Amino acid sequence: MCPPSESKLFMATNNLDVDVAILGAGTAGMVAYRAALAHTEKVVVIEGYAYGTTCARVGCMPSKLLIAAADAAQAAREAEGFGVRVGPLQIDGAAVMHRVRSERDRFAGMTREVVESWPAAHRVWGHARFVDARTVQVDDHTRITAQRVVIATGSRPSVPDGWREKLGDRLLVSDDVFDWHDLPASVAVVGGGPIGLELAQALHRLGVRVRVYAEDGNLGPLTDPALRAIALSVFAEEMPVWHHASDLQPERDGDGVVVHATVDGARITERFDVLLAATGRKANLEELGLEALDLPRDERGRLRYDRRTGRVGETSIFIAGDAASDRPLLHEAADGGRIAGDNAGRSGEPMEHPRRTPLGVVFTDPQMTVAGASHAELRRAGKPFATGVASFEDQGRSRAMRKNRGAIHVYAERGTGRFLGAEMIGPSAEHIGHLLAWSVQRGDTVAEMLACPIYHPVVEEGMRTALRDLAHTLDQAPEPESECLSCGPGT
């Protein structure tokens, strides 16, 4: 990719001395830049791939555009259930992808314009590599000496070894989907995590023949066994899912891909136009020359850093965003960039910053959310906790919308009643997750949450039912309230 024209100022050999060098101009890097500027003007941002965020270019925004088209198609299919009859459904794949690309380009252009509005002296185009902990070489044209360095180089899709060589252009990652000019006839989706599941369901609803291969048996981020079982049932009912596929062996077959997999002891082969590898993401660290530095690493080989300061060990290097291999979400990257940039901009000892309560949302239908501590995290921590549950099957507003699938589990500390977290699969999970995460961050008790108003009829009444069940489990049953008894449980 060619550098922006303004960056040609740095194409000749340069030596720069700055207080802060930031590697990467994505979400974490952009926020780190603004935070560092609050302390010093001697800041430079180095980028060698593309200005703009992963979210806008190949992540959350283009995927939601595809999901929005799929939701429209599904609404037409389900209209009959409301007594509304529409004509035969027709999906124009070229038109769907034209809107995805054009709106994607608009979102990406907005973030690119922000970076290009920065002073030219604050931007260097090229690939950075450490010479030592305070010196960075950018290609063959610029050497930068920095008092402190922020690594915000993001991440990329990870693909199993050998697959690219075997499959060539029949192998895709999520980034590739949003450059399509039409929809393929069939796709094998390998990976049942949030990215794979969102794309698989959207493509299925847009008329693409899809098969999901989930080797670990999980679909989505849920860790509560009961909710995981519900998720598997819901998604397997709608589209072909092999949730315990093993020994996957894809092969190129002319202009397509053949996938061999073992399912329930049987070897099964199926052919597709392309294979979409949704098998995780990998931090962009290999080309930075970090092997020349004595940096602390954890048992998995990741850089060891303090999430409250962004600092790697006791060094002058900070890290933020997906490069840190920790919670690859935009709001987490922004928080990490703010913390790393603020401390890198200071000349003294780094300050500790609080981190916000974890919150994750998956935009499938039904949606999924994990707010605060997950069930698995609470089990690992050995915390004595209680669980409250509620189903959406008979919840009033959910039934009215014909969205009555899923359940919610809420968790609180025994003894204190302090709310700890929740997991949910169901309608409006993206909104309910926020309410629950806010309660965790405030340190609310279950009693305090139940004292807050909830309108009728809304899906949030299902959340209240779960909280009431949790209060009973904690022996802190709330006072009875007036309810619409004709609307069923969960009102």
Per-residue pLDDT at 5: 44
Span 91-141, pLDDT tens digits: 999 999 999 999 988 888 888 888 889 999 999 999 999 999 999 999 999
For the chain, percent of residues with pLDDT exceeding 90: 81
CB 49 within 8 A of CB 139: no
Residue 137 domain-assigned? yes
264/298 same-domain check:
no
327/427 same-domain check:
no
135/233 same-domain check:
no
341/230 same-domain check:
no
Alpha helices in 17-119 (DSSP H): 27-37, 54-58, 60-78, 93-116
Q: The CATH number of the domain where 413 resides is what?
A: 3.30.390.30
- Mean pLDDT, rounded, for 367-391: 97
45/106 same-domain check:
yes
Whether 483 shows a pLDDT value over 60: the answer reads: no
379/308 same-domain check:
no
Exposed (0-12), middle (13-18) or buried (19+): which is 247, by Cβ within 10 Å?
exposed
Residue 61 domain-assigned? no
Residue 88 domain-assigned? no
Whether 435 shows a pLDDT value over 80: the answer reads: yes
* 50-59, 64-73, 241-250: segment of lowest average pLDDT: 50-59
Whether 176 shows a pLDDT value over 60: the answer reads: yes
Going by C-alpha positions, the residue among 285, 64, 257 that lies closest to residue 172 is 257
- Mean pLDDT, rounded, for 32-52: 93
The pLDDT-based confidence of 8 (bands split at 50, 70, 90) is very low
260/402 same-domain check:
no
CB 220 within 8 A of CB 214: no
Residue 80 domain-assigned? no
Crossing angle of helices 60-78 and 93-116, in 10° steps, is 150
36/115 same-domain check:
yes
* 150-159, 437-446, 481-490: segment of lowest average pLDDT: 481-490
Whether 12 shows a pLDDT value over 50: the answer reads: no
- DSSP β-bridge partners for residue 368: 362, 425
260/372 same-domain check:
no
Residue 273 domain-assigned? yes
DSSP states of 403-441 as a string? ----EEEEEEETTT-BEEEEEEEETTHHHHHHHHHHHHH
Q: The CATH number of the domain where 111 resides is what?
A: 3.50.50.60
Q: What residues make up the domain containing 197?
A: 163-279
Of the residues 321, 345, 369, the one at which a domain ends: 345
152/294 same-domain check:
yes
Residue 401 domain-assigned? yes
Residue 394 domain-assigned? yes
Whether 11 shows a pLDDT value over 60: the answer reads: no
Of the residues 223, 251, 279, the one at which a domain ends: 279
Question: How high does pLDDT run on average in the chain?
Answer: 92
287/412 same-domain check:
no
Residue 81 domain-assigned? no
Of the residues 238, 257, 279, the one at which a domain ends: 279
Query: Can you read off the two tokens belonging to residue 156?
Result: 């990329």
Crossing angle of helices 27-37 and 93-116, in 10° steps, is 20
- Mean pLDDT, rounded, for 56-74: 87
172/204 same-domain check:
yes
How many distinct structural domains can be found in the chain?
A: 3
3-state class (DSSP) for residue 125:
strand
Q: pTM score, two decimals?
A: 0.91
CA dist., res. 408 & res. 102, Å (int): 37
